[in-house]
Amino acid sequence: MWGNSSPFAVSHKHYSLLSVLSTKAMRKAILISLFFQLAATGLFAQKVNAEIFIPIDNRTEIWLKPRLDTLDNQKEYEFRIRVTPDYTISQFLFEKGLAIHTDSVLKIIPNSTNYDGFDTATLRVIVTSITGSRIILFQKRFIVKVPPKMFPVISNPTTNIMKLNDKIYLDRNKPYSRDLFSTPPSIITMYDNFANMKPYEVKNVTVALYEKEGKQYVSNSDTISGDALKEFKKIRSAIPVYIKVEAMSGKSKKVVWNKIMVYAE
């Protein structure tokens, strides 16, 4: 009944178990249970291209249209998916995102946690025969395009004033020479507003260079980290630099982003 020609047939042990069940519904439940047991033990990840899954493309039992290979992260895509009359779709698993199946429509929303570049995401489908006597596991691999990390839009308010070494005001969106940041210590101070200049207690300073999206240089103090200072020295043309300050005002915590332009003289 299961055949020996396909590597996707359930083992003799599981066949013996199914043979004693009297209803098609009970057999189908065992097959789906087997799928999730394997997933829980990590066997899918180990055998995804070998003994368990086969590609959806160019199969007679199932088809998925349109034939897309590359998806934009967090964008919704709508596919048509069908199987031949002697099979039915039992379950979906989309490892990095959401898959919603309604009738012959499959909606996919990839959700990679990476920043910038490309990631992969695999759609896996359980297909069972109408008689409940066979299970086939299919997969479709997608390339996911991930956009650069988005930094917050920063206006130019007169609150949360930042200064470098308590001398130079770091005004938002204004240009500054890299030489100002070339020698330690580069201390960041922050004040409530221009009216009273009430100081905050700076606990953490993070620097992110726009050229190196996703790379942040963190200092658990009020000084810019040594690694960040080295990156400032490498600047050759004007680039945006984001500075995040975490500070305390009494028992209240404030997290403030500032954006400046840094250039080489």
Instruction: CATH number of the domain at 77, please.
Output: 2.60.40.1080
Check whether residue 81 and residue 167 sit in a common domain: no
Residue 67 belongs to domain spanning: 12-146
Position 218 confidence tier, pLDDT thresholds 50, 70, 90: very high
Residues whose CB is less than 8 angstroms from the CB of residue 96 and which lie 6 or more positions away in sequence, other chains included? 110, 111, 112, 113, 119, 120, 121, 144
The answer to whether 188 and 223 have CB atoms below 8 angstroms apart is yes
**pLDDT greater than 70 at residue 9:** no
Per-residue pLDDT, averaged over 157-162, amounts to 81
Cα radius of gyration (the chain)? 28
Residues whose CB is less than 8 angstroms from the CB of residue 32 and which lie 6 or more positions away in sequence, other chains included? 90, 91, 126
Give the residue from 93, 125, 146 where a domain finishes: 146
Q: Determine whether 17 is exposed, middle or buried from the number of CB atoms within 10 Å of its CB (0-12, 13-18, 19+).
A: middle
Rounded CA separation 241/53 (Å): 46
Check whether residue 177 and residue 52 sit in a common domain: no
The per-residue pLDDT for 33 is: 55
The answer to whether 160 and 192 have CB atoms below 8 angstroms apart is yes
- As given in the structure block, the two tokens for residue 179 are 């030489």
pTM of the model: 0.45
The residue ranking higher by pLDDT, 36 or 68, is 68
Check whether residue 259 and residue 205 sit in a common domain: yes
Check whether residue 129 and residue 232 sit in a common domain: no
